[in-house]
Amino acid sequence: MISVMVSAWAGGVQEKTEPADMVLTNAAVYTVDEQSSWAEAVAVTDGRIVAVGTAEEIEAYIGDSTDVMDLDGKMVMPSFIDAHMHPASSAVAYLYQITLYDVFSLEEYLVKIADFVAENPEMNAYEGAGYMRSAFDEVGPRKEDLDLISPDKPMALMSVDGHSMWVNSKAFELTGITKDSPDPAGGVIKRDPVTGEPSGLLQESAMGLVSDLFTPPTKEMYKEGILFLQEWFNAVGLTTCHDAMVTFDPNYYMAYEELARDGLLTVRFRGSWILAPEMIGGAYGIDASVPGEEMTVDEAIEHGMALSETFETEYWQVNSFKFFSDQVIEEETGLLKEPYSHRDDDWYGIQVWDAKFLNEAFRKVDAEGYNIHIHQIGDAAATYALDALEYAREMNGERDSRHTFAHLQMIDQPEIERMGELGMNAIIAPYWTIVDDYYWDLYLPYLGQQRAYMEMYPAQSLFDAGVNTAIHSDFFVTEPDYGWALYSAVTRTMPEKVFQMWYGEDTESMIRTTEYSDDLEYYTMGPLGPAEERISLADAIKAATINGAWADFLDEDLGSIEVGKLADIIVIDRNLLDIDIEEVADLEVLMTYFEGEMVYSAE
């Protein structure tokens, strides 16, 4: 092990030092600094790191009042940063709605739904989320299954990817949706292939057709949800995350702001105001006190900037705007350069924005110094979004903008190079870089072998092109689990624990492999090609820490254990860089510190 001393003073350790508030010592400290240095001890005062070095060197910082923690060789590293998720809305779903995240078949879904309805008979409508789109055929889940449970009250359940909604017949009846209803712009009402009637699935903007049937969450519901989540997040070592879909509902953003002002947050949040064509004009609410108020996109951008100026603390800031360039492949709404393989109508997906309109929106946001945060799935979506970013730079001049693509399921190498030239972030989810049921049931038939196996979810290519690459869970799409994330970043397959969790009893008849093969047997769960896109564990750790900090302009304060930075630190049960990769998936966070305060202990 290499031990280093990092000091705020030229010449190294001071001869005389003030006692620190806290010292973590006798540890394997992985600093994630530019040299990927190791140390043995860390001293913290007033929430910031004042020294990093050998145990002997840090003894100078121990006084009578210093809280000293002897870690007996355990690993210390920066806490994790999730660069794209949906915390507040997900928290409400977990606490107040039907949750289907922990079951994986239609039969299990219906049991959980029926149990919730039986336990909550007083509700006038039922909402929920979490079903796997891969559990159903191309048409999707059917309304008749929900009708058996809730024939007289509307019900709507969001898919785990957040891009489609399973509804019952009562929801269709109350909103007047029939076989003759046209698809809304940017959305699809799935239809029974025989009768033409709505089958029970609404995709993308079509989900908004039933939104008025359900009461929006209150500010107190959001606040309770955020407090619930931060305990969970602290327990997995997470202390900073980016809410990638902040709505203009005052209940939503003020829940964060009030918790931040009251000093109740142990996770710091950054966020992006959501802008989408169907969300402008009151669909998500500009001001709850003015029902039906509508805004143009330009007005919404101005409104978001004005609101951002009112947020008072460093624990809640909204410094970017979120745009969708396309949607998702599993709903056939990701925008591709070549048509979907399973269809005979030359269907390429949905382009969310007119290219010229997007150019001007990006120019306006960029000119005001805000970040642009882009949902990008298909290769064609990457091209026209990058064209718009280049237009913004041409019009406004070059600056340290750190604009972002999130997800990057398919993107050509020349476009990756363009990202590097633009100084962009790539925010990826290693959880998804695997061959699983989504691969077999959706991606393979929709894209074909070459695109599905060899052209999805680049990783090493992004690092090679100089693109700042960070990790996200997209929660609630995936629950944050950094053992899983780091393992799958390195192997491009699922860990054994996930195989067992997802497939349970079926694992006796299914195969999990870590070996690459261009000819996997059907329904074998293995690594996603190409093997060259695997990244090193050291780079995966950077993606989960310092690179996530850089993405949100927080790298001067967070993401590494260096003098002067905030003491967001975790202690884990094993030295990740000194064990077999199969063990990495099972890492356990023992302690989490948020600005030097312990906010979680496994004990």
Q: Tell me the pLDDT tens digit for each residue of 331-342.
A: 899 999 999 999
Helix and strand totals (H; E) in the chain: 20, 27
Cβ proximity of 216 and 242 under 8 Å: no
Helix (H, G, I), strand (E, B), or coil: what is residue 48? strand
Q: Which residue has better confidence, 480 or 129?
A: 480
Contacts of 93 (CB under 8 A, 6+ apart): 99, 127, 128, 129, 130, 158, 476
Q: What is the DSSP string of 353-413?
A: S-HHHHHHHHHHHHHTT-EEEEEE-SHHHHHHHHHHHHHHHHHH-------EEEE-SS--H
pLDDT above 70 covers a percentage of the chain that reads 94
pLDDT in the model for residue 292:
43
- CB atoms near residue 7 (< 10 Å): 17
Alpha helices per DSSP H over 143-217: 143-147, 169-175
Closest to 184 (Cα-Cα) out of 208, 162, 159, 212:
208
6 pLDDT higher than 60 = no
Tell me the average pLDDT across 229-233.
97
What is the helix (H) or strand (E) element at residue 226, kind and residue range?
helix 219-235
**Residue type for position 24:** L
Cβ proximity of 187 and 327 under 8 Å: no
Mean pLDDT of the chain: 92
Q: In terms of DSSP bridges, do strands 22-25 and 41-45 run parallel, antiparallel, or are they unpaired?
A: antiparallel
- Tell me the torsion sign for CA atoms 147, 150, 155, 161: negative
Of the given ranges (83-87, 139-143, 216-220, 535-539), which has the lowest mean pLDDT?
139-143
Strand order in the sheet with 155-159: 98-99, 126-131, 155-159, 164-167, 198-204, 187-191
Cβ proximity of 194 and 137 under 8 Å: no
Q: Which residue has better confidence, 509 or 335?
A: 335
pLDDT in the model for residue 422:
98
Of the given ranges (160-169, 433-442, 538-547), which has the lowest mean pLDDT?
160-169
82 pLDDT higher than 90 = yes
Q: Which residue has better confidence, 374 or 285?
A: 374
Give the pLDDT band (50/70/90) at residue 294.
Answer: low
Render pLDDT for 252-290 as a digit per residue (tens, 0 to 9). 999 999 999 999 999 999 999 999 876 554 333 333 333
pLDDT in the model for residue 488:
98
186 pLDDT higher than 90 = no
pLDDT in the model for residue 134:
77
Contacts of 432 (CB under 8 A, 6+ apart): 409, 438, 457, 478
7 pLDDT higher than 90 = no
Contacts of 8 (CB under 8 A, 6+ apart): 50, 51, 563, 564
Structure pTM? 0.90
pLDDT in the model for residue 45:
98
Render pLDDT for 88-99 as a digit per residue (tens, 0 to 9). 999 999 999 998
Helix (H, G, I), strand (E, B), or coil: what is residue 329? helix
Rounded distance between C-alpha atoms, residue 448 and residue 534, angstroms? 22
Q: In the Cβ-directed half-sphere of 366, how many Cα atoms lie within 13 Å?
A: 27
Rounded distance between C-alpha atoms, residue 58 and residue 76, angstroms? 15
Please name each of the domains of the chain with its CATH number. Answer: 6-78+559-601 (2.30.40.10), 126-213 (3.10.310.70), 219-551 (3.20.20.140)
**Residue type for position 483:** G
Residue 345 DSSP class: S
Q: In terms of DSSP bridges, do strands 80-85 and 75-78 run parallel, antiparallel, or are they unpaired?
A: unpaired
pLDDT above 90 covers a percentage of the chain that reads 82
Cβ proximity of 49 and 565 under 8 Å: yes
